[in-house]
Amino acid sequence: MTTTPPTRTDVLVVGAGPAGSAAAAWAARAGLDTVLVDAAVFPRDKTCGDGLTPRAIGELARLGLEDWIRAHTVNQGLRAHGFGQTLLLPWPGPGKNGTGLPSYGSAVARTELDDHLRTTAIKAGAAALDGARAVDVRKAGSRVAAVVFEYAADGKRGETFEIECQRLIVADGVRSGLGKVLGREWHRDTVYGVAGRSYIDSGMSDDPWISSHLELRGEKNEILSGYGWIFPLGDGSVNLGVGTLATAKRPAEVALRPLMRHYAELRREDFQLDGDIRMPTSALLPMGGAVSNVAGPNWALIGDAAACVNPLNGEGIDYGLETGRLIVDVLTATPDADLSVVWPELLREHYGEAFSIARRLAGIVTVPQALRALGPIGMRSDWMMTLALRWMGNLVTDEDRDRSARVWRWAGRRSVKLDHRPPFS
């Protein structure tokens, strides 16, 4: 970690969450002079469910962190509750009817996960600076020549400085202040998420299953367009949260913190919850690539900043880790590439079809009548829910050729053709 900001670098990464730290680690390992800057002082918290799907586990293993993850809690799959049913849905894992991904998941509090990933980038050779917020850019023509930072921490608060860069990677999260400066626009006509997270002590902190309640009820017993989750952390507590789905036409009108407390009371006996929820936070989640202007000639948005969040489950850590790796692959394979052309095309190639069909299906869930009609049908079928886990859990990779993967891609191709605004456009 550096206390004196460098004046220039080959690759400047703004944002030290999973996407930014992964990008910085890969860039440094590739021999590129890399600087990683974040507005917060680490360790810091982040609103998140803390869940790590097998897809995220696979990316962490690529970074050499499998042993570190295995030292934490691991889970076998999803326990799905709703409409009078409870189903145990194991992660598919490798095999003829599965995926090439690992067969286990995990959950690590973001305070620890993000700090460890940032340390991984530093150990790889990246220079890291925290407590500095990106507020503007200086351009040379259409290219970003430098990023202007303002100290956010006490002592130097308000002072500014610049870091010149050859390439800029923007990974500053769902709000992406620097992305807005560069022209990023979030389109709310497709589905987005409104989620709240808390922690609570639990006698089932070592439960080998993560739990999701697909029938989320409000305080008046009304069915809501969303879900609740309980993810065991293995430290005597669980991550407990609720998420609702919305669009510009059907906005979410729910008070998340009271809803989390209500959800905790409903689940208290079954999950041996003890005490009150603590550290409640909430966030809006752009999803499914519902942003435009994700790249310029020498800059690119990755992870949450590019709305790389699954519309069906709110998961974004795996996409963050992946896009951090993919953008560095571009920078090293084609150093002179025009990212304004290459990066949106690559995002659409990897995620466009899946995001299109996922946000179309998630949009149906924003209609409570549809959820009431379709929910019981799905929960009565182990086969349908196993498919849903595969699709909802980001568990179809580019390499998968089994029937469920082929159906998912087929639906995605047709969905894109119907989109008024395809992902990342």
**Per-residue pLDDT tens for 276-325?**
999 999 999 999 999 999 999 999 999 999 999 999 888 999 999 999 99
Which amino acid, residue 135?
V
Q: What is the pLDDT of residue 384?
A: 65
Distance CA 411, CA 405 (A): 10
Distance CA 396, CA 400 (A): 6
Q: Name the CATH superfamily housing domain 8-76+97-186+290-349.
A: FAD/NAD(P)-binding domain (3.50.50.60)
If you average pLDDT over residues 224-240, what whole number do you get? 94
Residue listed under structure tokens 């991984």? 120
Q: What is the pLDDT of residue 1?
A: 62
SS3 99: coil
Q: What is the pLDDT of residue 157?
A: 83
Select the more confidently predicted residue: 385 or 208: 208
**Residue 96 confidence class, pLDDT cut points 50, 70, 90:** very low
**What's the whole-model pTM score?**
0.94
Are residues 223 and 217 in contact, defined by beta-carbon separation less than 8 angstroms? Answer: yes
Q: What is the mean pLDDT of the chain?
A: 91
